[in-house]
């Protein structure tokens, strides 16, 4: 059975110009993919933004759309350009200029999961990569682009909150003061500073430790959709997985429900950023 590209959750009425998305929380693993990988069913999930979709499932209650991936990141990475093909994995792909993501095995069709563990024994045919991109990548991005366009039409601007999680190892430091939230705006290129300041403040008011652009500034999605000069802003949010889940077991920890409740308040604040209620005002 083919993996689903995305799941879309809409509000009863759009009252927010903000669109929330979770491109790496998909867990609709195709049986043929699980049969073809050298990894077990547990290890294959190690690069998944597990449970991020559950953390943000309250989004429609605040008048905003929530788009979440169906297909897992290990199958197709939606935060890569569709032409970021890995010559070490895909047959017939010629080497181009150096791309650190591709070189590390993290192209649009990944060669590895976390810690560089190989997904396959050998190479994949180009036809398989093209099939995944056609069935998974293109529908997801077509829908995301459509949601942002609709928001700009209705409200005059759109704000993408791209929701991710990060391994604790990626932000841990010796002083124990590592950030729990990393906000990425590609160093100011993908969103206006005023909007990013409001996003940062919403998280800081909860007492969470927040950093900007280090170690994650935003990848393809922030770069592609962030067009501040056109009133379209894209901000990547990374959450330290250890805050809400047992990373090794890939399951929620005892803090999950409390943290999910805390994020509900943050989501309410984020959904209130920018122009609101344009549709209702027009109707009146």
What DSSP line would sit under 117-130, residue for residue? -BS-SS-B-HHHHH
Residue 115 is assigned to a structural domain of this protein: no
Rounded distance between C-alpha atoms, residue 46 and residue 173, angstroms: 21
Domain, as residue range, for 166: 6-31+40-78+136-283
Residue 83 is assigned to a structural domain of this protein: no
Residue 256 is assigned to a structural domain of this protein: yes
pLDDT of 274 over the 90 cut: no
pLDDT of 280 over the 60 cut: no
Residue 164 is assigned to a structural domain of this protein: yes
pLDDT score for 278: 54
pLDDT of 283 over the 60 cut: no
Q: What is the DSSP letter of 273?
A: S
pLDDT score for 4: 86
Mean pLDDT score, 234-245: 98
Rounded distance between C-alpha atoms, residue 242 and residue 125, angstroms: 37
Mean pLDDT score, 9-30: 97
pLDDT of 170 over the 90 cut: no
pLDDT score for 184: 98
Tally of structural domains, the chain: 1
- Please report, rounded to a whole number, the percentage of residues in the chain having pLDDT higher than 70: 94
pLDDT of 191 over the 80 cut: yes
Q: Are 85 and 109 in contact (CB under 8 A)?
A: yes
Residue 165 is assigned to a structural domain of this protein: yes
Residue 89 is assigned to a structural domain of this protein: no
248: exposed, middle or buried (C-beta count within 10 Å: 0-12, 13-18, 19+)? exposed
Distance in angstroms between the alpha carbons of the first and the last residue of the chain: 47
Chain position carrying tokens 């650190």: 100
Rounded distance between C-alpha atoms, residue 216 and residue 213, angstroms: 5
Who wins on pLDDT, 44 or 174? 44
Q: Which residues contact 233 (CB under 8 A, 6 or more apart)?
A: 157, 158, 159, 160, 190, 191, 192, 195, 226, 227
- Give the C-alpha distances (Å, rounded to integers) separating 95 from 27, 89, 203, 259: 31, 11, 42, 44
- Please report, rounded to a whole number, the percentage of residues in the chain having pLDDT higher than 90: 89
User: Which band of pLDDT confidence, cut at 50, 70 and 90, is reported for residue 58?
Assistant: very high
> What are the tens digits of pLDDT across the range 130-160?
999 999 999 999 999 999 999 999 999 999 9
Which residue, among 134, 155, 163, has the nearest Cα to 9 in the 3D structure? 163
Residue 63 is assigned to a structural domain of this protein: yes
- Give the domain CATH number at 14: 3.40.630.40
Instruction: Kindly report which listed range (49-63, 94-108, 197-211) carries the lowest average pLDDT score.
Output: 94-108
Q: Are 150 and 178 in contact (CB under 8 A)?
A: no
* Pairing assessment for the beta strands 181-184 and 232-240 based on DSSP bridges: antiparallel
Confidence (pTM): 0.94
Residue 61 is assigned to a structural domain of this protein: yes
Q: Are 50 and 24 in contact (CB under 8 A)?
A: no
* Residue 66, strand partner residues: 9, 20
Cis, bond preceding 215 (omega within 30 deg of 0): yes
Mean pLDDT, all residues of the chain: 93
CB atoms within 10 A of CB 279: 14
């Amino acid at each position: 059975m083919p993996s689903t590209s995305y799941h879309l959750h809409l509000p009863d009425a759009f009252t927010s110009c903000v669109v929330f998305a979770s491109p790496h929380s998909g867990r609709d693993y195709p049986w043929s993919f699980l049969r073809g990988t050298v990894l077990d069913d547990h290890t294959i999930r190690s690069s998944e933004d597990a449970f991020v979709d559950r953390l943000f499932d309250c989004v429609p209650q605040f008048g905003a759309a929530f788009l979440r991936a169906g297909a897992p990141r290990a199958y197709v990475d939606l935060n890569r350009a569709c032409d970021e093909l890995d010559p070490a994995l895909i047959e017939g792909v010629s080497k181009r200029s150096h791309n650190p993501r591709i070189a590390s095995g993290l192209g649009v069709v990944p060669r590895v999961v976390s810690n560089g563990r190989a997904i396959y024994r050998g190479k994949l045919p180009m036809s398989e990569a093209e099939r995944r991109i056609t069935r998974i990548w293109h529908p997801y991005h077509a829908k995301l682009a459509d949601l942002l366009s609709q928001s700009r039409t209705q409200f005059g601007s759109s704000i993408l909150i791209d929701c991710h999680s990060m391994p604790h190892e990626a932000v841990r430091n010796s002083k124990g003061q590592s950030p729990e939230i990393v906000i990425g705006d590609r160093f100011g290129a993908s969103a206006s500073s005023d909007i990013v300041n409001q996003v940062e403040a919403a998280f800081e008011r909860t007492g969470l430790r927040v950093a900007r652009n280090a170690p994650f500034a935003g990848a393809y999605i922030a770069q592609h959709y962030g067009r501040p000069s056109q009133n379209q802003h894209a901000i990547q949010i990374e959450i330290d997985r250890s805050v809400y889940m047992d990373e090794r077991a890939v399951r929620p920890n005892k803090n999950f429900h409390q943290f999910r409740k805390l994020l509900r308040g943050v989501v309410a604040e984020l959904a209130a950023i920018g122009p609101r209620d344009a549709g209702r005002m027009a109707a009146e």
